[in-house]
Structure 1
Amino acid sequence: METAQQPSSGRKRMSRAEREQQILRTAEEVFATRGYQAASMDDIAQRVGLSKPMLYEYFGSKDGLLLACLERAKRELLECTSAAAAGASDPEQLLHDGLLAFFRFGEEHARSWALLRNESAVPGTGLDTELEAVRRQQVDFTANMLRSSLPATEESRLEAFAEAIIGACERMALWRESRPEVTPEKVTEHLMALIWPSLSGELGQKSESTSNSHDQA
């Protein structure tokens, strides 16, 4: 006697890792468009085709899901800025390409950027801490870029420069939101016009100081 065969849906069963990425993509969109408070776990579960209890099994809570989204966005931002800076041949290009990657990330990953910049929608110390960790990551990355270009500059000065650059990037990114005609290339040009003269002067001063030391020797 033949056993009845179950009809095949034709769908490939997702691995846990694939399902997690699907949930994160969907949750990122919901959080970014509706805001954290208005976002519903029921809606997210329905969109990905899971039960609400199963969604909680993956991420524990709504806070846990948002934290996972922020961690993913933080990782992607660091990856794209690091990749851009890796091909630079001189300090000016290093700064330019790092800034350009930051602004392109905001444009090409609009949902991730909406999560990272919309701090007012995020309650709770743990979430605030994660948002600050994203900022800290980019400050440290920028300080490392400057450190390689300005090895003779004192550490506290490098840190101050990095904090100022990231603060300026955040404000310029917000400024662009109401000016869609301003491209990532154009906003990078604006910021380079502000920052690079000071840094190039710093480079010149250090070079002159080193030259004078060699002459005196």
Structure 2
Amino acid sequence: MSRAERKRQMLDVAEQVFAERGYRAASMDEIAERCGVSKPMLYEYFGSKDGLLMAAIDRAKAELYEVTSRAMAEADTPQEMVWRGMLAYFEFMDSHSHSFAMLLQEPMVGPPATGEALEQARRQQSGLIAPIIAALAPNMPPQAVDAYTEIIIGACERLAVWRLRHPQVTARDAAAYMADFTWNAMKHHLPEHASLPTAVPGVPRSESPAD
């Protein structure tokens, strides 16, 4: 393996072990064994267990921003941006669900920088969501835009954690719930000539869980 491939493998395994054991119970010995490397090699790459967790969080934060921003860039309207962004978010959570749930529910179990890393991820998502709200409701005061943005981010996180207990709820279901929630919150702020979509973009009306 190249150094980049080896690092990616270590992060994949570490994320899995952190999700299974929790940060405190996870051991560098187990991570090294699953990777098929020596524990000193883990320390060579990441310095410590704290460093390994932070590297995993930083990678996930960058990937989340990439997938959501790319999905939204493919949309033609603000409404479609909301739908595509929500769907990309929950699909990403599917592949990182247990590790993210651990961090969202127990942010203080990791090193002190864990909380700040999560806040950075939220600020990244805020930078994507707030401009869409402002575009949908151009007369909304900036403070209200910020408030709705924070509400949506918090709701997405709680819905992601809730889905762990309800695995029958798909990423498309969750995205449709959040889009429906967003439209209902926003409808009183939209210009008079604007109209809400009759169905969530990309979800046939008969299949939308919001019906």
TM-score range, shorter chain: 0.7 to 0.9
Q: Deviations over 1:50-85 (max 9, x none)?
A: 221221111011000000000011111111111111
**Counterpart for residue 56 of structure 1:** 43
Equivalent pairs: percent with the same residue? 46
Alpha-carbon distance in 2 for matches of 1:108, 1:123 = 21
Flag the 1:206–1:122 CA change in 2: closer, same or farther, 3 A. Answer: farther
Match of 1:6 in 2: none
2:12 aligned partner:
25
State the superposition RMSD in angstroms: 2.1
| TM-score, normalisation: structure 1 | 0.80
State which structure, 1 or 2, has the greater radius of gyration over its C-alpha atoms.
1
Give the superposition deviation at 1:205.
4.8
- Following superposition, the deviation at residue 105 of structure 1 comes to 1.2
Q: CA deviation at 1:201?
A: 3.2
AA aligned to 1:15 is S
Structure 1 residue 150: deviation in Å? 3.7
TM-score normalised to the size of structure 2?
0.82
State the shift of 1:203 in Å: 2.2
Structure 2 spans left out of the alignment, 5+ residues: 195-211
Distance 1:50 1:18, change over 3 A: same
Shift >4 Å, 4+ stretches: none
Paired residue total: 194
Q: What's the offset of the Cα at 1:49?
A: 2.2
Which amino acid is 1:164 matched to? Answer: I
User: 1:7-22 alignment to 2 at 5 Å?
Assistant: 14-22=1-9
Instruction: Indicate how the Cα distance of structure 1 residues 156 and 148 shifts in structure 2: closer, same or farther if over 3 A, else same.
Output: same
Equivalent-residue separation in structure 2 for 1:75 and 1:67 (angstroms): 12
Distance 1:128 1:121 in 2: 7
CA distance in 2, matches of 1:18, 1:172: 33
What is the match of residue 83 of structure 1? 70
Q: Is the 8 Å Cα contact of residues 36 and 121 (structure 1) preserved in structure 2?
A: no
- Which of 204, 209, 217 pairs up with 2:191? 204
Deviations 1:106-164 (A, max 9, x none): 11333553454343562332122112222222222211332344444332221111101
**Alignment partner, residue 9 of structure 1:** none
Over residues 26-51 of structure 1, what are the superposed CA-to-partner deviations in whole Å (9 max), with x where a residue is unaligned?
A: 11111111110111101111222222
Unaligned runs of 5+ in 1: 1-13, 208-217
Residue 95 (structure 1) shift: 1.0
